Amino acid sequence: MKEPLFVIVHEECITSDMALHAEGKDNDLICIESYLSVSKELSRIKREERFREVTGDPYQVEYLIPEGTDQIWVCGAYKIVCVQTHVDALRKVSKGMAIEIHEQGTISFCV
């Protein structure tokens, strides 16, 4: 059985927003409960799964996809902005692979 590859996009945004919350400088667009849950899932991925990280331009795929990968799960911050953008970029260069958003590891804006 092949192992999926997880791609974590802009995890530093989650860390930064959680730090603002700790300082009492909440952003109305975030839900701290969601941040804690997503942060735990990203930690699990880093311990237990094959993963790559994207800290720069989500339009670029600047890492190697391991040979034999047939499933890529993209997660991180923020769903409708950088995570979806990176999914679209991967689909352009990774023909034949299933590429989806990993909801448990993805933060969205609260509205």
Distance, CA of 22 to CA of 36 (rounded, Å): 12
The residue extents of the domains of the chain are 5-107
Q: What is the pTM for the complete model shown?
A: 0.88
End-to-end alpha carbon distance in the chain: 39
The sign of the torsion formed by the CA atoms of 57, 94, 102, 48 equals negative
pLDDT tens-digit readout, 3-44: 899 999 999 988 887 777 667 666 555 566 678 889 999 999
For 57-86, how does the pLDDT look when each residue is reduced to its tens digit (9 = 90+)? Answer: 999 999 999 888 989 999 999 998 999 999
